[in-house]
Amino acid sequence: MIMHAALIVIFILAYAAIALEHTLRINKSASALLAAGLLWTIYSLSPGNIHLVIEGLNESIVGTAQIVFFLMGAMTIVEVVDAYHGFDVITSRIKTTKLSTLLWLVGIVTFFLSSLLDNLTTTIVMVSLTKKLLNRHEDRLFFAGLIVIAANAGGAWTPIGDVTTTMLWIGGQITTLNIMKGVFLPSVACLVVPLVVTSYHFRGRVVSSPDTPYVKKEDPVSSFEQELMLALGIGILVMVPVFKSITHLPPFMGMLFGVGILWLIADLLHRNTTNDEFKHQLSLVAALRRIDMSSIIFFIGILLAVAVLEHTLILDGLAHWMEKTIGRLDVIVILTGIMSAVIDNVPLVAASMGMYNMTTYPPDSFLWEFLAYCAGTGGSILIIGSAAGVAAMGLEKIHFFWYAKKIGWLALLGYFAGIGVYLLQYRIIH
């Protein structure tokens, strides 16, 4: 009991440090690694069979490594496409004079782009676009808020669109086609409701372009290379689930295979280039150096920390307590989604995966699909609730309370609209 109490206290303190990262000015990756180290140390020193502890650690490392390799591969592909300015192929085609129409276009593009890319990258690309299109800062703030909602909604319905959905997919809790069928319409509702309300606010207004129009600099990358790398990057990401279904190999293997293909083609494109500096900028080596290793380290730390709570059956006990206290599984999942607005959704989902076994809740069951939606979209309610929100916060200098007042209630409306659609859809189908 003393060991369990110590483990719970350390995890809660680490959780608090992660949630208060910006206040404490301590990187969440450091908190996650410290938690993982302390928890496994206490677990190993407790009375019991050390061989079982090591066996549990080895098992956890295998599951963690699969997620980390997958994310590293996906991040690398995105960085390569970005280096070739491939995303400009999409964003440069968005042209309209009506502010409400532009809002819908930006929202829809963000929604589908984030289903293929990670939410963070999509948000950075789309917020950067609005800076080129809109002059008024107030308008850009609203657009940034809707981009956050769209990015999180779009990432929830595909296995590669959001880290939490990817975790459930790799863990075997969800399958590709079923998650897409089950969560697509709720995700659409989650976006459409805020878009309808906000576009009404912008009705009749025209786009106010920046005083200094954006002029594209001379780019040594040709349009052919831009389009080729965009098509290859998105094609590889889309084909990973197909690769898994055909070969039955873990998804990270398909992702690493895709990185190898992209690396080969990138080297072939510039094998005769004499400008070494330019050649290096577009290489996979440079892309690997640009990926967010801090986030990768955070995933490693938090997943290993949660694994201790799973192996010591603490999460199992928490699941039983919640079932006895709250009683309803749908309410528990909805509250989990709302909690993700304050607490990082990665440890929340990781904890849920440890709380509920797949014997009771098999793949594609109500719990896992509903969790994918709620954890993925609930983070939009507050600006600090998702990586997309934090990115937008930094790019447009969005104040926490401004977002909570102007955007938070819209995100909450969308969140519950999607919940309503999912529950209705589930009742009709089942």
pLDDT at 352 over 90: no
Q: At what angle do helices 293-311 and 314-325 cross, to 10 degrees?
A: 80
Return the higher-pLDDT residue of 354 and 181.
181
Q: What integer is the mean pLDDT of 116-143?
A: 83
Residue keyed to tokens 């595909």: 158
Residues in the chain: 430
Confidence at 349, pLDDT banded by 50, 70, 90? confident
Count how many Cα atoms sit within 13 Å of the Cα of residue 413 in the half-sphere of its side chain: 15
Q: How far is CA 378 from CA 105, 158, 176, 190, 272, in A?
A: 23, 16, 21, 10, 49
pLDDT at 213 over 70: no
Phi, psi of 98 (to 5 degrees): -90, 130
Longest dimension (CA), the chain: 71
Q: What integer is the mean pLDDT of 216-229?
A: 76
Of these ranges, 77-91, 340-354, 373-387, the one predicted with the greatest mean pLDDT is 373-387
Q: What integer is the mean pLDDT of 141-148?
A: 94
pLDDT at 346 over 90: no
- Give ∠ CA 197-199-201 in degrees, rounded to 5: 75
Among 197, 187, 198, smallest CA distance to 421 is for 187
Confidence at 214, pLDDT banded by 50, 70, 90? very low
Cβ atoms of 269 and 83 closer than 8 Å: no
Quote the CA–CA distance of 174 and 244 in Å, as a whole number.
13
Rg of the chain, C-alpha, whole Å: 22
Confidence at 215, pLDDT banded by 50, 70, 90? very low
Confidence at 210, pLDDT banded by 50, 70, 90? low
Amino acid residing at 189 = A
Quote the CA–CA distance of 253 and 255 in Å, as a whole number.
5
189 Cβ contact partners less than 8 Å away, ≥ 6 residues apart? 414, 417, 418, 420, 421
DSSP per residue, 106-121: HHHHHHHHHTTS-HHH
Among 228, 238, 198, smallest CA distance to 106 is for 198
Q: What integer is the mean pLDDT of 147-169?
A: 91
pLDDT at 323 over 70: yes
Percent of the chain residues topping a pLDDT of 70 = 97
pLDDT at 240 over 70: yes
Q: What integer is the mean pLDDT of 415-422?
A: 96
Tell me the pLDDT of the chain averaged across its residues.
Answer: 86
170 Cβ contact partners less than 8 Å away, ≥ 6 residues apart? 63, 66, 67, 70, 250, 251, 252
Among 130, 275, 156, smallest CA distance to 209 is for 130
86 Cβ contact partners less than 8 Å away, ≥ 6 residues apart? 226, 227, 229, 230, 233
Among 382, 301, 370, smallest CA distance to 336 is for 370
Phi, psi of 206 (to 5 degrees): -105, 160
Cβ atoms of 377 and 190 closer than 8 Å: yes
pLDDT score at 14:
87
Q: What integer is the mean pLDDT of 146-172?
A: 91
30-44, 153-167, 199-213, 366-380: least confidently modelled range = 199-213
pLDDT score at 211:
57
Amino acid residing at 260 = G
Q: What integer is the mean pLDDT of 1-21?
A: 85
- Give ∠ CA 355-358-359 in degrees, rounded to 5: 115
pLDDT tens digits for range 393-407: 777 878 878 998 999
pLDDT at 77 over 70: yes
Count how many Cα atoms sit within 13 Å of the Cα of residue 100 in the half-sphere of its side chain: 12
Q: What CA dihedral angle connects 75, 77, 83 and 86, to 10 degrees?
A: -120
Quote the CA–CA distance of 46 and 52 in Å, as a whole number.
12
Q: What integer is the mean pLDDT of 213-237?
A: 76
pLDDT score at 219:
56
Q: What integer is the mean pLDDT of 406-411?
A: 94
pLDDT tens digits for range 16-74: 887 777 788 888 889 889 999 999 999 998 887 888 899 989 988 988 888 888 878 88
Of these ranges, 123-132, 140-149, 237-246, 311-320, the one predicted with the greatest mean pLDDT is 140-149
pLDDT at 212 over 80: no
pLDDT score at 344:
66
Amino acid residing at 367 = L
pLDDT score at 429:
87
DSSP per residue, 87-101: THHHHTT---SBHHH
Q: At what angle do helices 251-269 and 223-247 cross, to 10 degrees?
A: 150
pLDDT score at 154:
94
